[in-house]
A and B are shown apart, each in its own frame.
Chain A
């Protein structure tokens, strides 16, 4: 598939502050792409450089084969949904949605029909005559979406569009955005600091730290084979254990767990020097009466219990590991919740381990 958006060596400096450091990125046509990272990592700045709202300090941005240097936001084939939605409060919903059609040569009634269709698409049919400032947050969001999509851009840019909504509304909008993206087939680029949101919605995710891309992968790869400890920590929870590679690099001695063959471990590339091993809490299991570990087992003591209703998170101390291992257990029928101090047998599986640098 060819790249719709190509970024080469994109840098953005504000005085001494480097907001973006040498970003190379290709985003494919029709893709739901996410820029994920903690606040201040440069993800919004990157989105704004694609939109043309910020000039790049150096490097190039091409959209659909065209160099965007010197092309202002109003001449780019992109449209944006702002974090604050930026709905024009002095206009009606229909005037907001039709705002971008001012220069459209189509007749008045055709434009009105296009506005109706756009409103219908985002579930706001019949809201056209309402004043924009009288709408709820979720409705404003939909107006902002309709307003951008009516122009049929090549790329829709979404800057933390769901962060101002409450949890229920957010989950509903996530699914709706996915549906909408499939329906219109436009490339979506989403900026978010919410890892779950990125995992749920995206085809591919670029995880950013301090103006650089830490890892670029599809959600499953990102979760199962994070490239660094930092990515692993940012996406879901993970236990880290120090490990020592054998001279021939075929085996690794993991603190508290023992030796395993490196071939069994997931990794996202060649790793030199110091290594760690990552284990997700849900890949560990506490063994109850009469259960046996399918592969490997280690003895520990429960040091902390956090009950979540559907799940219970345990911290389990294991000899030879300085920090307790976090284990998540589904609260299945008949399964007791253990107390602090209880002995626990942990089942683990080398195939769920991730080899990480550092």
Chain B
């Protein structure tokens, strides 16, 4: 068995990756405030506590709003950048695209601190959901560009010209031909941006005003051990949501490829 050590390694790797996450639902349904084995029985009242907590509901609401706005704006910006990158020719294109992608590797804490300074000290703005949205758009746009780049690179640049040649204006050529072909990429990009924004902590921690986002609220809860199972319950919901969104995003990406008749060359899942 030449592959045996590699197989063991792969299994251990997956275990290390996912075992902590499987603990979440375990303790979310465990009838005890203390997070420890042995388990003491099945309960769903952490979930009812969760729903009853008004402050938490407010935080989840904030997060969903921020994530939705971030998904829309990051994808719009990503769409423009990816289209320009794939179809337009202009001087300094490589450098400009590179700079747009930079936030992908910039440490988030740096982004958070500098944005806080700019928004508070330079612009004198009050912190609210929109300050978080602007920062999330900044970090999510590179992801959107990366996803949409794939969609545009699979696209024959002549097809928009062909539509114009057949009588459509520049805009309707985009709407009738390019848009349907990159639509799976757009949906995929929105879902990824939504997921990133939803569980982003550092930037949100620096830039939320009076109303914290969900991750920031959870961090606050951690000081109260009695609340820990509620956090576990929330975490369980979040994991389920994230996995669902990622799967949907990947399905759309694949459908897009199939629709355009292109072979699959990688992806998220």
A74 to B169, CA, bound (A): 6
The answer to whether A53 and B259 touch across the interface, beta carbons within 8 angstroms, is: no
The answer to whether B158 and A79 touch across the interface, beta carbons within 8 angstroms, is: no
The answer to whether B165 and A89 touch across the interface, beta carbons within 8 angstroms, is: no
CB distance from A56 to the nearest CB of B (A): 17
Whether A53 touches B164, Cβ cut-off 8 Å, given contacts A83-B158, A86-B156, A86-B158, is: yes
The answer to whether B167 and A82 touch across the interface, beta carbons within 8 angstroms, is: no
Q: A90 contacts which chain B residues (CB < 8 A)?
A: 177, 180-181, 259-260
Q: A84 contacts which chain B residues (CB < 8 A)?
A: 156, 158
Which residue of A has the minimal Cβ distance to B89?
A: A14
Q: A51 contacts which chain B residues (CB < 8 A)?
A: 165
Interface membership of A100, Cβ < 8 A: yes
A100 to B181, CA, bound (A): 18
The answer to whether A89 and B162 touch across the interface, beta carbons within 8 angstroms, is: no
Interface membership of B163, Cβ < 8 A: yes
Interface membership of B199, Cβ < 8 A: no
A270 to B162, CA, bound (A): 45
The answer to whether B164 and A147 touch across the interface, beta carbons within 8 angstroms, is: no
Whether A73 touches B181, Cβ cut-off 8 Å, given contacts A89-B261, A90-B260, A134-B261, is: no
A310 to B167, CA, bound (A): 49
CB distance from A199 to the nearest CB of B (A): 27
A78, A79, A86 — most chain B CB neighbours (10 Å)? A86
Whether A89 touches B181, Cβ cut-off 8 Å, given contacts A102-B167, A103-B167, is: yes
Question: Which of A74, A88, A103, A133 has a CB less than 8 Å from the CB of B164?
Answer: A74
Interface membership of B31, Cβ < 8 A: no
Residues of B in contact (CB 8 Å), total 19
Question: Which of B158, B168, B181, B259 has a CB less than 8 Å from the CB of A82?
Answer: B158
Question: Which of B167, B177, B259, B260 has a CB less than 8 Å from the CB of A151?
Answer: B167
Q: A134 contacts which chain B residues (CB < 8 A)?
A: 261
Question: Which of A53, A83, A102 has a CB less than 8 Å from the CB of B165?
Answer: A53
A151 to B165, CA, bound (A): 11
B156, B161, B162, B165 — most chain A CB neighbours (10 Å)? B165
Interface membership of A99, Cβ < 8 A: yes
A103 to B176, CA, bound (A): 13
Q: A89 contacts which chain B residues (CB < 8 A)?
A: 159, 181, 259-261
Interface membership of B36, Cβ < 8 A: no
Interface residues as binary, A71-82 with B (CB distance below 8 Å gives 1, 0 otherwise): 011100011101
Interface membership of B269, Cβ < 8 A: no
Which residues B150-187 have CB closer than 8 A to chain A?
156, 158-159, 161-170, 177, 180-181
A82 to B158, CA, bound (A): 7
A144 to B166, CA, bound (A): 11
Question: Which of B159, B168, B170 has a CB less than 8 Å from the CB of A86?
Answer: B159
The answer to whether B260 and A100 touch across the interface, beta carbons within 8 angstroms, is: no
Whether A147 touches B180, Cβ cut-off 8 Å, given contacts A84-B156, A133-B260, is: no
CB distance from A132 to the nearest CB of B (A): 8
The answer to whether B181 and A86 touch across the interface, beta carbons within 8 angstroms, is: no
A74 to B259, CA, bound (A): 26
Whether A151 touches B166, Cβ cut-off 8 Å, given contacts A89-B181, A90-B181, A90-B259, is: yes
The answer to whether A99 and B158 touch across the interface, beta carbons within 8 angstroms, is: no
A72 to B164, CA, bound (A): 9
Which residues A49-63 have CB closer than 8 A to chain B?
51-53
Q: A133 contacts which chain B residues (CB < 8 A)?
A: 259-261
Whether A74 touches B158, Cβ cut-off 8 Å, given contacts A89-B181, A90-B181, is: no
Q: B261 contacts which chain A residues (CB < 8 A)?
A: 89, 131, 133-134
A53-B164, A133-B259 given; name 13 further pairs at CB < 8 Å: A53-B161, A73-B161, A80-B162, A80-B165, A83-B158, A84-B158, A86-B156, A86-B158, A86-B161, A90-B259, A99-B163, A148-B166, A151-B166
Question: Which residues of B come within 8 Å of A, CB atoms?
Answer: 156, 158-159, 161-170, 177, 180-181, 259-261
A-B contact pairs, 24 of them (CB 8 A): A51-B165, A72-B164, A72-B169, A72-B170, A73-B161, A74-B166, A74-B167, A74-B168, A79-B166, A80-B162, A82-B158, A82-B162, A86-B158, A89-B159, A90-B259, A99-B163, A100-B166, A100-B167, A103-B167, A131-B261, A133-B260, A134-B261, A148-B165, A148-B166
